[in-house]
Amino acid sequence: MKFKMIATAVFGMEAIVKKELEQLGFENITVENGRVMFDADERGIARANLWVRTAERIFIKVGEFKATTFESLFDQVHKIAWENYIPKNAKFPVNAKSVKSKLYSLSDIQSICKKSIVNRLSKVYQTQWFEETEEPYSILVGILNDVVTVSIDTSGSGLHRRGYREKGNEAPMKETLAAGLLSISRWQSKIPLIDPFCGSGTIIIEAAMMAKHIAPGLNRKFDSESWRLIPSSIWKEERKACYEAIKHDVDVVLQGYDLDPRSIRTAMDNAELAGVEDIVHFQVRDVKDFSTSYQYGYVVTNPPYGERLNEQEEVKQLYQLMGRVFAPYKTWSKYVITSYENFEREFGTKATKNRKLYNGRIKTYFYQYFGEKPPRPKRTTESIENSKNKS
């Protein structure tokens, strides 16, 4: 059975999610603000949840229509063939969001949609009471400019919950955003990577999971894993494929530093839970002591933003220090995410590229400084002759 799917994304990350879906072999992919649509069958639902690193959740889209009155909303929701998705005793909570629409009371939207679904299912299952004691089918009713999109959440908890970060620091970065930053930077496992403000280790651990080809959803459960709609055999087969895809012999340089010893201990614990402790290195170190013997590499980091007024001067000085510390490493590319509007001025250099992203509810900018590329190897007479012979 084919389904219309929605992968939700952080604003600014939609193209990265689209690229991932393409690489996984999905078709009919289209992009809108905050979401990416694609087609999938039952196996595709499992595969998307297990493998997509940068999306927030995966939904089945079950209906889309215009509604400006609650009567119209009730009637249109009632037309959806809910019995094709929701068994008799399943849980089906309804959540709502509304932006720039005539219907804006979230509690009323939720209540009316729930009544409409119950009304239809009560006729199908010939009952007036639903126990709602079995597997969950969380329904989202989103209204934008009076257009209603009705969908069912296949993921459950957000896809950023990989299962390895039981502990975190005060301001953790979502795993999905960390993976997105690495994708935007086009980091590859052959490139040394350092995060000098690693906190609980998220960026380095996400890079390690990419290097070892560990599916991000391998160590967690999904709501749709308990659905009768998707045979359990599919999930078993897809999980088995994930285990078989893991690379165990990986040559990679991944280093994370932080001033806080507690953060470093947490990062090490998280790396162990993620199954990547063998290829990462975490150490207590001040950014002022940044150094590396590798000629080429990437710095990808999420330094303090200075969101509070009393922190502004401290953060300003920190960014000036970063500019001085990183300046000698002209062959290294530096990627910094921050909400600080004058980062480039304090850092001392205008970024090669700049991308607006959201870290939670905070508007941030991902400043990208491209390092000098390694020289191309000179072609010898022998290599030229070999290439001629091959052609």
Task: Tell me the pLDDT tens digit for each residue of 142-197.
Answer: 999 999 999 999 999 999 999 998 765 555 799 999 999 999 999 999 999 999 99
Per CATH, domain 3-153 is 3.40.50.1000:
no
- Of 36-45, 123-132, 209-218, the poorest mean pLDDT is in 123-132
Q: Does residue 305 register a pLDDT over 50?
A: yes
Per-residue model confidence as pLDDT tens digits over 329-377: 999 999 999 999 999 999 999 999 999 999 888 999 999 999 998 887 7
pLDDT given for residue 391 in this prediction: 46
Contact 21, 150 (CB under 8 A): no
Per-residue model confidence as pLDDT tens digits over 96-111: 999 999 999 999 999 9
Q: Where in the chain is the domain with CATH 3.40.50.150?
A: 175-217+226-369
Superfamily of domain 175-217+226-369: Vaccinia Virus protein VP39 (3.40.50.150)
Written as one string, the DSSP assignment of 203-257 is HHHHHHHHHTT--TTTTS--GGGG-TTS-HHHHHHHHHHHHHH--SS----EEEE
What are 373's two structure tokens? Answer: 């590329």
CA atoms within 13 A on the CB side of 174: 21
Residue type, 13: M
Q: Where in the chain is the domain with CATH 3.30.2130.30?
A: 3-153
Rounded (5°) CA angle 191-194-195: 140
Task: Say whether pTM exceeds 0.75.
Answer: yes
